[in-house]
Structure 1
Amino acid sequence: MSAQVFTLPDLGEGLTEAELVRWLVADGDTVGVDQPVAEVETAKAVVEVPSPYAGTVLTRHGAEGETLRVGEPLVSVGDAGDAGSGNVLIGYGTSGGHEGARR
């Protein structure tokens, strides 16, 4: 089983770290592309972080209440398939429904 390690993404505006508020998945859960896996809090907001990979959650890196730096492992997903979306924020996913959306 190959594992994809998803690191805490750059959440914008020069923020370098975020507090892990709440896990939305458990080890062994199946996740889909763009499914939120954790809720994190930055100096600016609380956001849900979606997985760019589909598969089984192998390891959650970090405990609730812990501060993670951008680029540190967030979650490892097995059986990830060949492609991920690369998306990091809710509302910017790859699931359809964007016909007629503004640019």
Structure 2
Amino acid sequence: MTAVLREFAMPDVGEGLTEAEVVTWNVAPGDVVTVNQILCEIETAKAAVELPSPYAGTVGKLLVEPGETVSVGSPIISIETAEAAPAAPSPAPASSDEEQGAKIGEPGKDGRIANLVGYGPRPGASARRPRRGAPTPATPV
């Protein structure tokens, strides 16, 4: 396991606002936090919101003081997380293109173009339907 220092930036809490004020911190440097634990309370022009932690780890530093207004996207706290070292990539099983089928957007063995269901044109679907003519009056019997 290696320690990684992550910064949590002021999120966009919706409502089209570009900044928020940090009202109170519920954690201090050195505290151990879990995912979704409330870190702080922020206040926008429209509402007060509690921000949950996106990471589990140890609080490194509070980057914003209470009462300070922060722009969306600016870092507000750093959290040291413990992450596993990247695993060595496992070798992919050997297989030919014929076994895998066609890739999206490329023609397959049968000549059809592979696409996601419901997406893209159907072959031969470019012809328009004939227009309806004017209704013919019914002939009396």
After TM superposition, the score normalised by the length of structure 1 is 0.76
Query: Percent identical across equivalent pairs?
Result: 54
SS of structure 1 residue aligned to 2:66: coil
Consecutive aligned runs of 4 or more in structure 1 exceeding 6 Å deviation: none
Give the 5 Å matches for 1:1-103.
Answer: 1-81=3-83
Q: Which runs of 5+ in 2 are unaligned?
A: 85-141
Q: CA contact under 8 A between 1:4 and 1:80: conserved in structure 2?
A: no
The number of residues matched between the two structures is 82
RCO higher in structure (CA 8 A, sep ≥6): 1
Larger Rg: 2
Q: Distance in 2 between matches of 1:34 and 1:81?
A: 18
The structural deviation recorded for 1:6 is 0.6
* Aligned Cα root-mean-square deviation (Å): 1.2
Q: Distance in 2 between matches of 1:4 and 1:72?
A: 13
Q: Which runs of 5+ in 1 are unaligned?
A: 83-103
Q: Distance in 1 between matches of 2:14 and 2:26?
A: 22
After TM superposition, the score normalised by the length of structure 2 is 0.56
